[in-house]
Chain A
Amino acid sequence: MIRLLVADDEDLVRGALVALLGLEDDLTVIAEAATSADAVRLTLEHRPDIAVLDLEMPPADGLRAAEEIRANSPIKIILVTRHARPGVLRRALSVGVSGFVPKTTPATRLAEIIRDVAAGRRYVDPEIAATALTEGACPLSDRELAVLRASRTGASIKEIAVQVHLAPGTVRNYLSAAMAKLGVGSRHAAAHRAWEEGWI
């Protein structure tokens, strides 16, 4: 029996997925989560064999949740996404995600992929892999990316500074450097572009 945790912020999608996976004889869903924070907490608490995480999930995202889970345990992770942005696959693989599939995958196929992953194999959807090859070269440094990530919530400079443990002046410098590198006029535009490319 393969024990699963399913995390998705959309109740209808999660409900349907849990019901469909539950129809498989060798799969059992032992926990559900609606936020990335809950996903991390419940995964570490219940220790499923595989965590199936939605990529687009508040407050952080599925990838950050995967990062935290993998940092604390060897639990295998499958990410599910509606629309794969170019840079995401690379980042997902580097935190040790085992599977990456689009939401359009039929539940029966997902079940097969889950079995594959449980058997120690890796599965990457071909279209997601193709998207990953269209990534633009990222001109931003790690610090700039961290600051842009924090700014995506619409936080003020002061709030970003607290979040990333830097002085507000330094944050401002990183933001304007990022804006200049991306050739955009505002920090929101810079953050949006970095997100679109899957860099954050």
Chain B
Amino acid sequence: MRDVPVDPGAGLTNLRRSTWWSLIGVTVFFLALSVRSRIMDPAVPVAVRLAAVAALALTVTAVAVSVSRRLPHLPHGSPSVTTPVRWLVAGGAGSVMLGVILLALQDRGLWSFGPAMMVAITATFLSPRRRRLLIVTAAAGVAVLGGITGRGSVLAAAFPAGLMILSGWVTLGMLWAWDVAERLNAARRLSAELAVKDERLRFAAELHDIQGHHLQVIALKSELAARLAEADPSRAAAEMREVRRLAADALRDTRAVVQGYRRVTFEEEIANATRVLTSAGVDARTKLDPALPPGPGRHLLGLVVREATTNVLRHSHARYAEIEYRTADGLARLTVTNDGVSERPDADTGTGLRSLAERLPTAGGELTWRHDGDRFVVTARVPIEEM
């Protein structure tokens, strides 16, 4: 009974990682490309080169931190994305400084890339309308700046503006994909939660039906017994025995509801049987063919495993037990063997196997058991088409 299905969000975790690395990778690559020749250039004053390196480092760090904040870690983070104002401001300052240094050194190409990335990342924290406003304003700004420094050259004005819009487009696109994926994941989680809630309601209703009925009768019968206690003690005792039986029924039915709630596969059931037998000091082994999809026959075989295991535990001094499951010639065959033959055949063991033996033919199968020397062998056969 899990609260919510397990969702480690592995796919989303990978998408987050890939988005982060793509953005940081592109930023580092182009920024390094844009300043590399200037930093290496011995003609440029050392102070300017150092300032460029510092501005580069600051911008890259700010981009990395801001993108991390924008992509919340799963599964906890989803709705609360806080804007890292200080990092955005610091990164903005760094990138502007980088741009100014490059412009001053007569760069006419990638100088606007640092500011463009910072603008794009800042934009991802804003509402759609403000995003557009910010990017368009920034593009116009760098176009004017580029035009002036480029002495009116159209390319010098258009290139930085284009770079600004392209960076915004790509960055926003990647984060948009991330947001959509995250929203889908949230929706999926919600529907899983809803399914669990529905199931709980059903469970509660079923439980109430069972308990309500039994308790009502128990209350009535107890009252009757209390009043009969003096007048007719033997009838009172009979009523109380009835009450005891009803209470036991109520408990058993309740357990049945709870057990209906648990589902394990046939293989798991056999594995559990082996483990339980092992812990009881029995040398338990299994031989398994791959199991078949669930069906009525599979359910019956599950019951046979239970019954046979219980019998080994209860009645025999078995040292060895073997559960074998084979499919051949259109038949699924389950054999449970143990070497501790029951010393005194108990009435209710027989009932368990006997009632199963009556049920298996309804699925076209049969259940047999026999003593084979010191071994007791239970065999169930069910046609595979009934599985």
Contacts and interface: CB of A to CB of B under 8 A. Distances in A.
Interface of A: 83, 86, 89-91, 93-94, 102-104, 106, 122-124, 126-127, 129-137, 180, 182-185, 189, 193, 196
A196 to B, nearest CB: 6
19 contacts: A83-B255, A89-B276, A90-B275, A93-B279, A93-B281, A94-B280, A106-B248, A122-B280, A122-B313, A126-B352, A127-B255, A134-B263, A136-B268, A182-B6, A183-B4, A183-B8, A185-B75, A189-B3, A193-B2
B276 A90 contact: yes
B116 to A, nearest CB: 40
Contact of B272 (A124, A126, A127, A134): A134
A176 B232 CA distance: 63
Given A134-B259, A137-B271, A180 B279 contact: no
Contacts of A106: 244, 248
Contacts of A123: 314
Question: B248, B271, B276, B309 — which one has the most chain A CB atoms within 10 A of its CB?
Answer: B276
What is the interface residue range for chain B against chain A? 35 or more
Contact of B276 (A103, A104, A132): A132
Nearest to B251: A104
A133 B271 CA distance: 8
A132 B279 CA distance: 12
Contacts of B273: 133
Nearest to B75: A185
B7 interface: yes
Contacts of B8: 180, 183
Contacts of A133: 264, 269, 272-273, 276, 305-306, 309
Given A104-B251, A104-B252, A135-B272, A91 B279 contact: yes
Nearest to A84: B255
A129 B309 contact: yes
Contacts of B272: 86, 90, 132-135
Interface string B242-255: 00100110011001
A131 B276 contact: no
B328 interface: no
B213 interface: no
Nearest to B310: A129
B258 interface: yes
A129 B276 contact: yes
Which 7 residue pairs of A and B lie closest in terms of their CB atoms, listed nearest first?
A183-B6, A94-B279, A129-B310, A93-B280, A93-B279, A124-B313, A104-B248
